[in-house]
Amino acid sequence: MAKLRIGTRGSNLAVKQTELVVAALLKIEPSIDLRLVKIKTKGDVENRPLFAMDEKGIFEKEIDQAVIHRDIDFAVHSLKDIPSELPEDLVIASIPKRAKPNDVLVNSHKLPLKDLPAGSIVGTSSLRRAIQVLRLRSDLDVRPIRGNVETRIKKTLNGEYDAIILAEAGLNRLSMQANISERFPIRSFVPAPGQGIMAVTCRSDNLSLISTLKRIEDHESRQQAMAERSLTQNIQGGCRFPVGAIATTKPNTNELSLHASVFSSDGSKNIRLKETGSIADAIKIGNKLAHRLNQMGVEKLATEWRNAIRHWNRRL
């Protein structure tokens, strides 16, 4: 097989994720010649928190454009960075096995959230995480934070923040799990759709490469991803509306359950729904749950959030 060029962001986490894909490919096809190509994205150079940027694909657009233009052959992304709709000449060719999707708390004193002193400054880049923290501890001072995983951890260890919240998958992939103070249960602290999932994109007309990439795919992780993405594609309110969603599958069964949680901007309201069905109907399950959420007034909550985001932006 010819040399294949893999596009990735330059962060340590992005490179590590790409190396995991490389290792999986070499295991099934040792003769593959693979070369990493680091590409800088708009999200890498922006200093604003993610919720302040009203656009899609800030961490993947430049990389996937390189795929489309054949500057690279395929790319490795965090699934939650990929917009709901891809260009027609791109496809998510492979989804390897999902890592743990939980959010985790990090602080230098190894305290759980309930034991943080009142007024503690908690950093997060996510409105979804921020509102869930404030629902549990309204006496905390939740503030925006930017930077890669290592930078954020450094900011809490040196006292700039009293604690931060991150995705467990990233810490595990960087072998930094010793910093975890508390793991939040996925039912009570619902992750972002796609959290813990890597996605490999390539051109939709590159059938030979798609066939190779499919060999490192995990079927259950693919169905979980499809359920969560179909939910976000069909929910009213837009991409900046913080939605928690997690699909789970029972071992040795064909059952998939999709849990979703949405909040009002002040945290006083929480709509929690669940939809269960056959794993083969993952997309239908996501669509059905989105329809139920829409019927319960999600669009009104989204309008409230658009106003609330202006308040958060003033804190930058």
64 is catalytic: no
Task: Please report how many Cα atoms fall inside a 13 Å half-sphere around the Cα of residue 161, on the Cβ side.
Answer: 23
Helices and strands of the chain, counted as H and E runs: 10, 13
User: Which segments of the chain are extended strands (E)?
Assistant: 4-8, 34-38, 74-78, 90-94, 103-106, 121-124, 141-144, 163-167, 180-183, 198-203, 243-249, 255-263, 270-278
For residue 22, the Cα-to-chain-centroid distance in whole angstroms is 21
CA distance 70 to 172: 32
Contact 171, 150 (CB under 8 A): no
Backbone angles phi, psi at 212, to 5 degrees: -70, -45
Given the residues 73, 81, 103, 162, select the one marked as catalytic. 81
Backbone angles phi, psi at 9, to 5 degrees: -70, 165
Contact 35, 3 (CB under 8 A): yes
By CB neighbour count within 10 A (0-12 exposed, 13-18 middle, 19+ buried), where does 277 fall?
middle
CB atoms within 10 A of CB 186: 18
- Which residues are known catalytic residues? 81
